C-alpha cells in the first residue's frame, strides 16, 4: 500500500529534470521525468504516441492588451512560441505526424487575489491555441486556487499532478507577484516557426 504523499512507483525513480518558466525540453529516455511547479503559469506535455518521444514547456502570459485584434497581448507571442516550439520539437524527433500527438495541459491557478486572474488568461490562451491548430487535449488539470507540481514521463506519456499546500502555494504566489511588479516578460526569440 502506498503512503498518501508518495509518488506512483513509475515517478519514484530515474532522472528528474526541472522545467522552469521559459523552458522547453523533449526526450525519448525511458527513465526520465520532467518536473515543474505551476501557479498561474501553464505547462503543456506533448507526446508522440508511436515514437515514445515527449516534452514539456512552461510559460506565463504576462499581460493582456486592450486591442480586440490582439486579444491576449504581446506576451501571447511568447505563449504561441512556447507551444509551437514544443510541438515542433516532438514532431521532429518523433514520426512527424500531428495525428500521433497526445497533449496534456496543466496549471493556470488563481493563487493570489492581488493579481489579475492571469491563470484564467493562460487557460483561455492555451485552449484557443490548441483549437486553432486542430488539437484536442487528452487530459487537463487547470484552474483552481492552488499551485501544483506536475511530473511527466515523456517516454510513456504518464502524468502525475500534486496540488500543493498553502505554504508552498504562497511561495509561488510571491514569486509571481515579484515578476508582475517588475513586469518581466521573457523575450521572444526573433525566429518564425511554422507548424507542419
Residues with catalytic function: 41
The distance in angstroms from the start CA to the end CA of the chain is 46
CB burial of 33-59 (b: ≥16 within 10 Å; e: otherwise) equals bbebbbbbbbbbbbbbbebbbbbbbbb
- What number of other Cβ atoms are within 10 A of residue 182's Cβ? 8
- What number of other Cβ atoms are within 10 A of residue 135's Cβ? 18
Amino acid at each position: 500500500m502506498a503512503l498518501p504523499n508518495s509518488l506512483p512507483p513509475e515517478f519514484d525513480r530515474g532522472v528528474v529534470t526541472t522545467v522552469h518558466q521559459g523552458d522547453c525540453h523533449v526526450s525519448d529516455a525511458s527513465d526520465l521525468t520532467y518536473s515543474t511547479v505551476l501557479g498561474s503559469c501553464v505547462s503543456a506535455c506533448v507526446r508522440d504516441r508511436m515514437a515514445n518521444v515527449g516534452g514539456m514547456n512552461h510559460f506565463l502570459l504576462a499581460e493582456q492588451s486592450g486591442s480586440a485584434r490582439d486579444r491576449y497581448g504581446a506576451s501571447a507571442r511568447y505563449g504561441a512560441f512556447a507551444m509551437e516550439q514544443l510541438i515542433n520539437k516532438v514532431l521532429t524527433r518523433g514520426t512527424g505526424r500531428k495525428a500521433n500527438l497526445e497533449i496534456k495541459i496543466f496549471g493556470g491557478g488563481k493563487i493570489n487575489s492581488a493579481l489579475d486572474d492571469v491563470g484564467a488568461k493562460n487557460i483561455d490562451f492555451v485552449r484557443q491555441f490548441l483549437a486553432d491548430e486542430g488539437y484536442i487535449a487528452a487530459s487537463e488539470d487547470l484552474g483552481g486556487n492552488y499551485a501544483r507540481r506536475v511530473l511527466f514521463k515523456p517516454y510513456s506519456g504518464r502524468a502525475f499532478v500534486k496540488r500543493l499546500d498553502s505554504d508552498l502555494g504562497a511561495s509561488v504566489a510571491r514569486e509571481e507577484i515579484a515578476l508582475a511588479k517588475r513586469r518581466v516578460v521573457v523575450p521572444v526569440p526573433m525566429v518564425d516557426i511554422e507548424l507542419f
